[in-house]
Amino acid sequence: MKASERKVLTRIKKIINKSKSFFLAGHEKPDGDTIGAALAFGHFLARMRKKKVDIYSRHPLPKNLEFLSRILPGIKVASFTDKNYDTAIILECSNFGRMGNIIKPSQVKNIINIDHHTINNPFGTLNYINPRASSSCELVYQCLKFLGARINQDIAMALYTGLVTDTGKFQQENTTAECLRIVAELIDGGLDTARISQKIFQQQSLGSLHLLGNVLKTLQLHYHGQVATLELPERFYQITGAAEENTEGIINYGLLIPTVELVLFFRDTERQNIVKVSLRSRTKFDVSQLVKPYDGGGHRHAAGCSVAGTIAEVKQKFLQEIAGYFRRKKC
């Protein structure tokens, strides 16, 4: 651990020791890493340190992660709270409001910001940020170890969920040695990783598989097979009865084709004429640059943004932009 990291963790420890009440939240539309990190930290504070802890989420847990909701103190799904807290721990948020504006900064005395994405303007009183970490759960594990926590089965289950989902089952580039060392420790501690993986990954409904089938039929290749596009028009939801949360992971199918360097997934949203664009890249493209003009977020190999227009219009826009990228970079 670097001296600078130790310094931040020492200050986090001080704040945690003197705080009595905590507000915890990750980003809107939570994923495995967000939920796992919040529950692991929240469980430690509530059960092992006997602090007052409220974990909030702006949106409900995805169905395949509902099994985590039995970890105490649980997650409150709400759009706001008027309570005041000593400390807010905000996970995986590029800005304070990204947790869904459930609370205002004025309602808390301290803000601890934990993230493994690059953040240009860290908003916390204390910021524990490391873009080289596999996941927020990896950072939470380091925090908990530093705080002297015993990693019980509930904390282990929550952390493993973040590690396995954020690394694409330990297949993506962000699968660090540290991440695998943590998993090894969790297994040594008795965690049944096969059972948890089954709960997370083998929970598809007929509708969600039909949705996948429909989206895969839209798969097209461009620029000599280097760019793949996928589309999800509103009507696919009606045909299949699937929901937006069932779109998770579909984009990765584009990368199964070996020539593909970049995948773009365009989908209609509940907002009229707003298309959500998700991007994944292998090595050549920095997708965080491609979403910059649209106020998007993410990192080099995974990013997203919302753009006004129809799917056809937005797709055209992006393909033109990428043509310029090919000219400049001579890919």
CB closest to Mn ion, residue no: 33
Minimum CB–partner distance for residue 167 and Mn ion (Å): 9
Distance CA 193, CA 190 (A): 9
Choice between 136 and 226, CB closer to Mn ion: 136
CA–CA separation, 208 and 25 (whole Å) = 28
Cα–Cα distance list, 122 to 111, 117, 119 (Å): 11, 11, 6
Please say which residue, 54 or 166, places its beta carbon nearer to Mn ion.
166
Tell me which residue of 81, 212, 211, 69 sits closest to 154, measured CA to CA.
Answer: 69
As a whole number of angstroms, the distance between CA 210 and CA 206 comes to 6
Q: CB 32 → Mn ion: shortest distance, Å?
A: 8
Name the nearest CA neighbour of 231 among 278, 190, 193. 278
Nearer of residues 16 and 133 to Mn ion, judged by Cβ: 133
Q: Would you say 33 or 231 has its CB closer to Mn ion?
A: 33
Q: Hey, how many other C-beta atoms are within 10 angstroms of the C-beta on 97?
A: 15
Identify the CA nearest to 92 among candidates 137, 61, 55.
137
> Cα separation of 166 and 34, whole Å?
10
Instruction: Name the site residues for Mn ion (rule: CB under 5 A).
Output: 33, 135-136, 166
Smallest separation, CB 6 to Mn ion (Å): 23
Query: What is the smallest separation between the CB atom of 220 and Mn ion, expressed in angstroms?
Result: 29
- Reference 221, options 322, 327, 328, 324; nearest CA is 322
Q: Classify each residue of 178-198 as buried b or exposed e, where b means 16 or more C-beta atoms within 10 Å of its C-beta.
A: ebeebbeebeeeebeeeebee
101: which residues sit within 8 A by CB, 6+ positions away? 79, 80
DSSP state of 315: H
Whose Cβ is closer to Mn ion: residue 211's or residue 291's? Answer: 291
Q: Is the CB of 110 or the CB of 130 nearer to Mn ion? A: 130
CB 135 → Mn ion: shortest distance, Å? Answer: 5
CB of 34 to Mn ion, least distance (A): 7
Nearest CB to Mn ion, comparing residues 166 and 231: 166
Q: How far is the CB of 163 from Mn ion (least distance, A)?
A: 10
From 279, 224, 290, select the one nearest 254 (Cα to Cα).
Answer: 279
CB of 201 to Mn ion, least distance (A): 17
CB closer to Mn ion out of 135 and 214: 135
